[in-house]
Amino acid sequence: MNFEQAIISQLEANANPKQALKMAAYMKNQFVFYGINSSTRKLICKEIYDQYGVPENAIEVAKVLFLRPHRECHYIAQELLLKAKKQWKELHIEAIEWVILQNSWWDTVDFLASKVVGAYFQKWPDNKADITHRWNVSEDIWLIRTSIIFQLKYKAKVDTILLANSILPHTQNKAFFIRKAIGWALRSYADVNPSWVISFVKNNKLQPLSIKEALRKLPK
């Protein structure tokens, strides 16, 4: 039995059909679930990592898991991608982009954007502007969202020119997940530079949801 087979075996053994229906409903029935909560899933993974370690071909294993129907497999796959950061090569941005586009919804895209993509561009910062620009001008809302929020964990190291350039083409974008992403990215940066965020909101015509999210933590 290999890493992937061990994961699937344990997920099937711990499946909770009643809970699975609730979890699917929360995700608007876009995905099927085994019905395994986050804490149980992490215990399962810990046991398997203890036994097998991180697979040497972790990126390929993650891609295979992302093609499975159950949402827990996708969560494990993205966590594996991050855990295998030492295996990343510069060209693996292609695999990361591929994963973003598989079974896309906010719960996986936000993890991949803020943790995986964010970490990738810290390793290869020279690729940051060109790749995120390509995503930003695409027609896929999840690539656009990724281009806006990938700096969430950068805090004081946020590239404000890149942040502004990722937001400004989409200030009138009606997609909920884009409006929300704009506000979230600004709110996160407001933790370290509130004056920049206030000025940006004041000087650019953002939609109400984006403004509300951007300024939510700041004094009225």
Q: How many CA atoms lie within 13 A of 213 on its CB side?
A: 18
With contact defined as beta carbons under 8 Å apart, do 52 and 88 qualify? no
| Phi (first) and psi of residue 102, to 5 degrees | -95, 125
Residues 37-48: pLDDT tens digits? 999 999 999 999
Q: How far apart are CA 195 and CA 46, in angstroms?
A: 43
Residues 72-92: pLDDT tens digits? 999 999 999 999 999 999 999
Q: How far apart are CA 102 and CA 112, in angstroms?
A: 11
Report the share of the chain in percent with pLDDT over 70. Answer: 100
The residue among 164, 80, 156, 91 whose CA lies nearest residue 124 is 91
- Farthest CA pair distance, the chain: 58
Query: Does pTM surpass 0.85?
Result: yes
Q: How far apart are CA 125 and CA 151, in angstroms?
A: 12
For tokens 């796959």, name the residue: 77
Residues 134-177: pLDDT tens digits? 999 999 999 999 999 999 999 999 999 999 999 999 999 999 99
With contact defined as beta carbons under 8 Å apart, do 200 and 165 qualify? no
* pLDDT mean over 10-38: 97
- For the chain, the average pLDDT equals 97
